[in-house]
Structure formats: C-alpha cells, structure tokens
Amino acid sequence: MPKLLIEGEKRLEGRLQVHGAKNSVLPILAATLLSGDCVIHNCPRLTDVDAACNILQHLGSETRREGDSILVGAADSCCCCIPDELMRRMRSSIVFLGAIVAKCGHARISLPGGCELGPRPIDLHLAALEKLGVTIEEDHGYLNCTVKDRLRGASIPLPFPSVGATENIMIAASLAEGETVIKNAAREPEISDLAAFLNACGARVRTTPDGDLHITGVKSLHPAEHSVIPDRIAAATYLSAAAVTGGDVTLDGVCTEHLAAVLPYFEEMGCRLKTAPEEIRLTAARPLRAMSMVRTMPYPGFPTDAQSPLMATACVAQGSSIFVENIFESRYKHVPELIRMGADIKVEGRVALVHGVKELHSATVHCTDLRGGAAIAVAALAAAGETELLDIGHIDRGYENFEENLRGIGAAIRRVP
C-alpha cells in the first residue's frame, strides 16, 4: 500500500479548486437506481465513489466516467442483493437499501462497513423503512427486506437528525403511495442536494419552514442531469492546512454559505478571510491564537467531519482550545497519532483539551480514519522534518488528488510505494 512523505514547515500559497461533495454524490448515485440514464456532474474521483459505482454495476446499472461526470444507465435487471464484499467498502452503502426496496420490492444486503467511529446504528434506517411498510429480518449478517405491493407514506419522527436515515427515507418515499413526512430531518446541504436531484427526476420533495421534509410519492422517476455541490469538508481541510502553515490560500468552487459555522473559528485564530459566494481567501496569522470551544452539532452547527482537521491546526496555536464531540463517540482516534508528533492533547470522554505547542515534529504515523487521516496530514505540513504517513487509503476515500492539490500550493508531499 502506498504512503505519503510530507516535509513540513513549507508555507502554502496559491489557488486551489475544491471538488464535489463526497457526502452528496453517494446518495445521489444510489437514487439513480430509480430513474436511470442520468448524468451527474462534479463527481470527485474517490474510492468511495468507485465503490458506489461498483454497487450500481452489480445491481444492473452501467456507469461510465467522462471527466468529472458520471453517466449512469438504466438498470437492465432488478438485482436486489448487495454482497458482503461490496457493502464493507463504505459505511454509507446502507443508503442503497431504500432505493432497492422502492425499485424491486425486496432487498438483501450485508451490514455495511467503512470507518469505525463508534456506534453508528442503522436502527434509524430500518425503523423508518418499517414505517413505510417494509418487513425486515436479519439473517446471519444480512438483512432481508420485503414489501407487499407498494411502499406507503407515513409520518416518521427521527429521534436524531440522522443524515443517512433522512436520505434513505427520501429515496424510498419518492415512490411510495401517499405522503411521507420526516420530522426532525437532517438539514445538511447534502440533503438539499439530494432533494434537488430527486425533484429533477420528477419526485415531489419539499421542506417546510419548521424543517420537516414532505415527500409526496409518484409512480415513477425519469432521467435527469445534475451537478453536485462543492465539498465543504474538503474546503475546511484545505483552510486548516493553509492556517497551520501560515499560508495565503484561495479556494475556488466553494459554497461559502455551507461553511458559515466553520469560518468564524479561523477568524478567532487570527486569520483574515475574504469571501465571495464561490471563493474564500484565507491569510493566516503568525502565531495562531487558540479557539475557546468547538462543539460539533448537526447542521447548521459545526460539522463533525471538520473537527479533526481543525484540531490539527489548534495543536500549534497559542493557548488552549476545547473540542466537544457530540455526534460520534470515537472521533478522537487521530489524537494518539498527533501526540506522537509532539501535540499536547488530553481526552476525557467526548471532550478534548488541546494545549498549543511551539513546534510539532515528524514521525511515522498512521491514518486512523478518513478525516483523522487528513488531520494528521495537516499537522505534518507544520511539523519539523519529514513525516511518514501510512494507511492513506482512508484519505483516498474522501479527497481527490490530495497530494497533488497540496503540492500545487507549495507543500512538499509525495506518494511512494
């Protein structure tokens, strides 16, 4: 497996184009099962996207990439089973469940894989689908799901605004009989992007002022063309890299509105921000100042996926920063690797206290998960010496051309066997 060699203490400077959102393209690709013959633009080259295309191909839909677009053909069969090998490649593969049940009336899938970030139960997904009329039985690590005749609309109150469960319900309910109302639905930009795609295909999805999602079922969906929103987490990661190196970096192709909960923390650290609707320029302060407290929350709060890269930046800020992780229980797996590089971090349950140090040093470290791996890379950009970063397959799941992008703005980073 390849690794990254990162020589730190190089100031980042220049412009960088942000790719399409990983967390948006995956449910959209799953939803193409219900329409077929779709063209999805701004699709990043990620191993998770490859895994989603492999699942589509297994289910009978041909996929073809042309530049940053993926063309998805109509399924020529109604295969309803996703084998264990394909499901284990990414946790979000569970989002295919609602699409398969809506299309075929039955489904058999293995329990999903992906990053181990503590309990991420799919119980919310299954309970919601049962309300739509799906009968679910567990069979030696597989889920057998069946529905008589047609899915039926229902009122589904979510105990937590789960993004994945909201997406599964939206996709399945698009072809259900009657209206489905999701109360306490997730409000992330990726949810709005999925709704825009479904509506382009003829679905009837709308959001009420109180945040509830209403989906009025239709008999069928038709092909559509859609462009995926920019990846706000990739943007936050590159901003963290710019800040930690004392850099001056401009991000193009972003949606600044989606980063409203993140940008104030860079300003708190002393960075200067110049923003436009699709562009952000960050000029870092020297030295950075610590942040008072970062609490991860469902959108529009601070995103859990941006917590790790921002923590890497806090490692070299003057003073102490407090992080409170409210989404995933095991989101601090990257902390021991940062400590190997000289960071001063204390973790107690969901709280991490980061005391800034004058300098990080190089080490041989491992990616622990997707965002944790990106955070370690951010720290390595500021560390003295050359860091050896292993298990970088995690990074490839969510960042397109990661080292090329960083190298293009001045980083000394290379991939080697």
How far is 275 from 61, CA to CA, in rounded Å? 41
- Position 384: which residue type? A
How far is 270 from 302, CA to CA, in rounded Å? 19
Catalytic pick among 43, 80, 104, 115: 115
- Asked if 155 and 116 touch (Cβ cutoff 8 Å), the reply is no
Is 23 one of the annotated binding-site residues?
Answer: yes
The DSSP bridge partners found for residue 323 are 294, 352
The DSSP bridge partners found for residue 81 are 108
Is 86 one of the annotated binding-site residues?
Answer: no
Is 119 one of the annotated binding-site residues?
Answer: no
Is 215 one of the annotated binding-site residues?
Answer: no
Task: Retrieve residue 57's tokens.
Answer: 């191909």
Annotation marks residue 115 as catalytic: yes
Q: What are the φ and ψ backbone dihedral angles of 278, each rounded to 5 degrees?
A: -125, 25
Computed from CA positions of residues 392, 191, 64, 98, in that sequence, does the dihedral angle turn out positive or negative? positive
Q: Which residues contact 155 (CB under 8 A, 6 or more apart)?
A: 131, 180, 181, 183
Is 305 one of the annotated binding-site residues?
Answer: yes
Is 327 one of the annotated binding-site residues?
Answer: yes
Is 122 one of the annotated binding-site residues?
Answer: yes
Is 199 one of the annotated binding-site residues?
Answer: no
Is 123 one of the annotated binding-site residues?
Answer: yes
How far is 270 from 281, CA to CA, in rounded Å? 14
Residues across the chain: 417
Task: Retrieve residue 334's tokens.
Answer: 């990257």
- Asked if 72 and 40 touch (Cβ cutoff 8 Å), the reply is yes
How far is 396 from 392, CA to CA, in rounded Å? 7
Residues annotated within the binding site for UDP-N-acetyl-alpha-D-glucosamine are: 91, 120-124, 305, 327
Residues annotated within the binding site for phosphoenolpyruvate are: 22-23
Residues annotated within the binding site are: 22-23, 91, 120-124, 305, 327
The residues annotated as belonging to the active site are 115
